Structure 1
Amino acid sequence: MTVPVMSSLTDLDHCLSQLLDHSSPQLLSSHVIQLLCHQLKSALLETPNVMTLQSPITLVGDIHGQYHDLLEIFRIGGPTPHTTYLFLGDYVDRGYYSVETISLLICLKLRYPDRIFLIRGNHESRTITTNYGFYTEVLNKYGGSSAVWSYVTDVFDYLPLGAIIDGRIFATHGGLSPSCQQIDQIRAVDRFKEIPHDGIMADLVWSDPDPEILDFKLSPRGAGYLFGSDVMHKFCHDNSLVQLLRAHQLCNEGYVSYWRGKCVTVWSAPNYCYRCGNKASVLEISHSNFDTGSTEKREVLPGQFFNVFEASPQNDEDTVNGKSMNGVNEFDGSAYIRSKEIDYFL
């Protein structure tokens, strides 16, 4: 069956107005989301596993359904289409507005394809979204139907796995893999599928740096690896890179730098899960014209700047009003009451 596409930019602008021009974002219909997802899948078919991007560009870490904090990012980092954004994955789960968050990002990607870039995180997965909120939120917001979840998770299979910025910086969601020594190995991966349990694709979305080790070590997450300084330096040397930029880990101050800026984590969900109280950040890269031999102590490379921000007022309102994750309110007797024990690690 042939699925029609959105007929014009006017349609996309109308969808954006539904999400942006109201005191609370308006849900797009299931049919409209189906059309949007079909159109985005067609566009992403032509996108390589590793995109080639240029500065100036602003990198955004995990959002996790915190829609109003995403709007805060656009206020701080600059509005579209005047600012180029690379989003590093984990758009859904945890937060109260996963549906609205991914709807907005899909609309923006279609409306401004050369300004908005999306890569895949470990939560862009059917298995993870079934267990950590997005699936339940869709059921609650669409009258028990899971169709929107199916449309969106199909799109996740099409998202690229990383980007090279200015030919010198590699950006991905998680980290490195013992199965991958060359960027060309990532380019050769078949990404159009659910994230596997192991291998290069799994490691890219699950792995984490560890300043206490030199090589690879099994991750306590149960997927991916921890990687140390020797691994990081060798990967950069062998691929003529100077830096790895990634997300995936909660940072109390909004970011963490390892090995004098060789590896940097950017986290963009403030007051994560409406209870962690952490700051968030976006990483602005104005240029990559720097001396890699500098011995100056640094957290980021020249031309890079962390814009740190606090949770939006609406985030605080959701916390005070008792809104929970998964798109539903907590109340006794609900079939959708979330667990009081939150696994922040995943």
Structure 2
Amino acid sequence: MAAVREQACFGPKDWRIRERRGILDPFLKALSAFLRQRITRKNEKQREQNSLDRRGISFLIVEVSFERREGGFPPEANYLFLGDYVDRGKQSLETICLLLAYKIKYPENFFLLRGNHECASINRIYGFYDECKRRYNIKLWKTFTDCFNCLPIAAIVDEKIFCCHGGLSPDLQNMEQIRRIMRPTDVPDTGLLCDLLWSDPDKDVQGWGENDRGVSFTFGADVVSKFLSRHDLDLVCRAHQVVEDGYEFFAKRQLVTLFSAPNYCGEFDNAGGMMSVDETLMCSFQILKPSEKKAKYQYQGLNSGRPVTPSRGPVKKK
């Protein structure tokens, strides 16, 4: 969701690819270090992996954007990102490498969840594969695929806020099921892991419904209420859909959708949003207004026949 500003990543736009490669090299070294750490250790349950529990600290929950004036840099602020770091602009490499570098630098303050685009079968079509091939090589894309297959799926903030990229699943009965997901893993076409990355809330649905994406399900407000009650939670926080004001509530404020990329792919006039959570679990929102000078980016998935990121309700197009 490329909201990392250009000037924070590299210099003039007319630099050639070979010159930019020198800028990216330190970030790619950070990626290699990240993969050596593996995030996961096989056959060992680690609470941070598939479920994050952090007590007594404040969080900024976003998709992909942070600036000193908006949220502060780690370790001053803790960040939880909700996925979809690639396929969202022409600087996907800069975006994901910067995030991984911060994860290496501040492993206890910086957390990256997996989105549905952190999957080889998706970003192979939607643009990230082509960017890696054009600017580096296919081997780099395969390296990122190995990395994405290790990312955690969900997080729980202070035992009260459940966070994931997509939404809920009819297969999810207890949190231990998420912790038991063995990684590295690809994303299956159905089941718990697929739903956590792909499902969507729908105000016109009771229970579970068919998803227009052709993947996973939609779920109604009643599903959210039952889920929160069963697990003694207060809020579901997810991403996965464009919302006009950067955030949007659902199910009587029991679920919130965050979308942090303003002016999404140059197609929508939407704002971006990030959610701050303080020590008392008070949630507040910061809005990132779309830039009038943002160059239009042709999203590679628009004509691919694959499901694209939809909007929740009407969002003005440019």
Task: State whether TM-score is above 0.5.
Answer: yes
Counterpart in the other structure of 1:53 = 54
Counterpart in the other structure of 1:333 = none
From 103, 119, 128, give the equivalent of 1:125. Answer: 119
Corresponding residue SS for 2:194: helix
Q: 1:215 to 1:288 in 2, by over 3 A?
A: farther
Instruction: Give me the whole-angstrom Cα distance separating, in 2, the residues matched to 1:183 and 1:246.
Output: 16
Q: CA deviation digits over 1:116-141, x for unaligned, max 9?
A: 10010100000000010100011111
CA contact (8 A) 1:174 1:203 kept: yes
Counterpart in the other structure of 1:269 = 261
CA contact (8 A) 1:33 1:151 kept: no
Corresponding residue SS for 1:264: strand
How much has 1:245 moved relative to structure 2?
0.5
Please tell me whether residue 221 in structure 1 is matched to residue 222 in structure 2: no
Counterpart in the other structure of 1:235 = 227
Counterpart code for 2:25: L
RMSD: 2.5
Q: Aligned pair count?
A: 289
Q: Provide the TM-score with structure 2 as the length reference.
A: 0.83
Q: Provide the TM-score with structure 1 as the length reference.
A: 0.77
Instruction: Give me the whole-angstrom Cα distance separating, in 2, the residues matched to 1:21 and 1:118.
Output: 19
Counterpart in the other structure of 1:158 = 150
How much has 1:234 moved relative to structure 2?
1.0
Equivalent residue runs for 1:93-112 within 5 Å = 93-112=87-106
Counterpart code for 1:28: D
Equivalent residue runs for 1:18-37 within 5 Å = 20=8, 22-23=10-11, 26-28=23-25, 32=29, 35-37=32-34
How much has 1:240 moved relative to structure 2?
0.9
Instruction: Give me the whole-angstrom Cα distance separating, in 1, the residues matched to 2:160 and 2:302.
Output: 43
Equivalent residue runs for 1:1-346 within 5 Å = 20=8, 22-23=10-11, 26-28=23-25, 32=29, 35-41=32-38, 43-45=39-41, 46=46, 47-54=48-55, 55-61=57-63, 63=64, 70-71=65-66, 73-142=67-136, 145-288=137-280, 303-312=282-291, 316-319=293-296, 324-325=298-299, 339=303, 344-345=308-309
How much has 1:195 moved relative to structure 2?
0.5
Instruction: Give me the whole-angstrom Cα distance separating, in 1, the residues matched to 2:37 and 2:204.
Output: 41
Instruction: Give me the whole-angstrom Cα distance separating, in 1, the residues matched to 2:235 and 2:299.
Output: 34
How much has 1:187 moved relative to structure 2?
1.6
Instruction: Give me the whole-angstrom Cα distance separating, in 2, the residues matched to 1:340 and 1:279.
Output: 26
